Amino acid sequence: MRNGRLFSGTSHPVLAQRIANHLNISLSPVTVQRFPNQEITVSFGISVRDQNVYIIQSGSNIVNDHVMELVIMIRAAKMSSARKVTVIIPYYPYSKQSKKKKHRGAITAKLVADMLTVSGADHIITLDLHAYQISGFFPVPLDNLFSKPTIANWIENNIPDYKNAVVVAKNTGGAKRVTGLADTLGINFALIYVDNSHAKTSFSRAPSSVALQCLPPTSELEFRLNSQSLVSQHANIDVEEDEDNKSDGSEIRELELEMSELDLRPIDEIMNESDDDLDEDLVSESNASHNSPLLSHTQFKEVSKVSSNGEPAANGANSAVGAKKLSSNPKKIVLIGDVRDKLVLLVDDLIDRPRSFLTVAEHLTENCGAKGVYIFTSHGLFNDISLEEIENCPFVQKVITTNSYPISNNLKETSTKLVQIDISPLLAEAIRRNHNGESISSLFERPI
């Protein structure tokens, strides 16, 4: 690249080298050192005066150090008379904090954006932002690339029966993401709705349920009849009467239901709900062992009898204690769509704590009849514990992610289910087009 310099931070040197190889250039030398008190100092080994500087630095598991390293590199380039500084951040750090979760919290994603722009960044290139509003945090241009074409290309080349698959979002916030991938592949999609804050439902026997906003029925018996009919219709299950009720037909098995309140939040807030909002609610408070199948969070009596360590409780006092612990925070998982006898492509933008993915995978397989689950994410924020959980889950065949986030070779070797798609061709082409003043819109739909 004429009048261009490509530098790499220390967060993901492997990805940076691959990008340089695709551009047919060498990474420019830069020295990153630490003082004894762990302060970071940066020195470029080549002149950047009147040059277009490109700095590659992704989020990582030591995010604070690498964010500081990045802003120091940006400032060093600007103070060395660089013409323009473009920052390539494949995984945007602190992206899960794009809104206030609590009254006295911080919007840290905006703080990171301020740090980058104040230090001198003129242009940002990133991949699959966790929340769309982050692009509005910057007063400078931001190009948010999409991994959808690359992932779709991998599916077409590696899953022979993908036409018989269904793309599924594990929460309502992923609706736009899954519909786009489904349209690209020409297949159906489905959504998972988790009733985690407004409805508390406890069914005696029902693998799935639907919370409906309706007027109270005219009588308790009519209410029970309607509830039983709706559960059977929406979950594709048969709700059988108890043996004691078959004789006279005058009573229906008891359904304990609290009518949910109407969700009055703005629709954009509901549709932008993300996995970090739901992860803790999807998992049991018990420290379940992953050598045994995950417990479904659909509440019915046969499953709710577990001990505090996640194993089936023995009859007696321990059984009562375990059942009380699990049912103290009941959740409902509702599938909107049909996955019976189909392969499920469970899609989200990132995965770190996999418990919500694994719980949904179990629900789709055990209760909805799916014949297999593949997990697809743009960013895999894995550690040894999360990969072990995925490896021990019988409901997940593969987890496919890009190499936007650094994962050590030792960690990758511990998993037989992890597949990484190389995203460096897309990032390299975005850099080339940006440097030459070409449009990048075609990168949103076609794989490189």
**Helices 424-436/13-23 angle, 10° precision:** 50
Whether 179 contacts 189, CB under 8 Å: yes
Structure confidence by residue, pLDDT tens digits, 356-412: 999 999 999 999 999 999 999 999 999 889 999 999 999 999 999 999 999 999 999
Amino acid residing at 42? V
Least confident of 148-152, 273-277, 417-421: 273-277
The pTM assigned to this predicted structure is 0.73
**What string of DSSP letters covers 209-266?**
------PPPSSHHHHHHHHHHHHHHHHT---PPPHHHHTT-------EEEPPPP--S-
Whether 24 contacts 70, CB under 8 Å: no
**Helices 275-282/355-362 angle, 10° precision:** 70
Domains and CATH numbers, the chain: 4-146+425-444 (3.40.50.2020), 148-421 (3.40.50.2020)
Residues 192 and 178: their CA atoms lie apart, in Å, by 11
Partnered with residue 143 across adjacent β-strands are: 125
CB-CB neighbours of 397 under 10 Å: 16
Structure confidence by residue, pLDDT tens digits, 299-328: 332 333 333 333 433 433 333 333 333 234
pLDDT at 69 over 60: yes
In the predicted model, what is the mean pLDDT of residues 229-242?
43
Structure confidence by residue, pLDDT tens digits, 325-357: 323 445 688 899 999 999 999 999 999 999 999
Structure confidence by residue, pLDDT tens digits, 108-140: 999 999 999 999 999 999 999 999 899 999 999
Looking at per-residue pLDDT, the higher value among 39 and 319 belongs to 39
In the predicted model, what is the mean pLDDT of residues 41-64?
97
Share of the chain above pLDDT 90, in %: 62
pLDDT at 254 over 80: no
Q: In sequence order, which residues have a C-beta less than 8 Å from that of residue 121 and are 6 or more positions away? A: 74, 85, 86, 87, 140
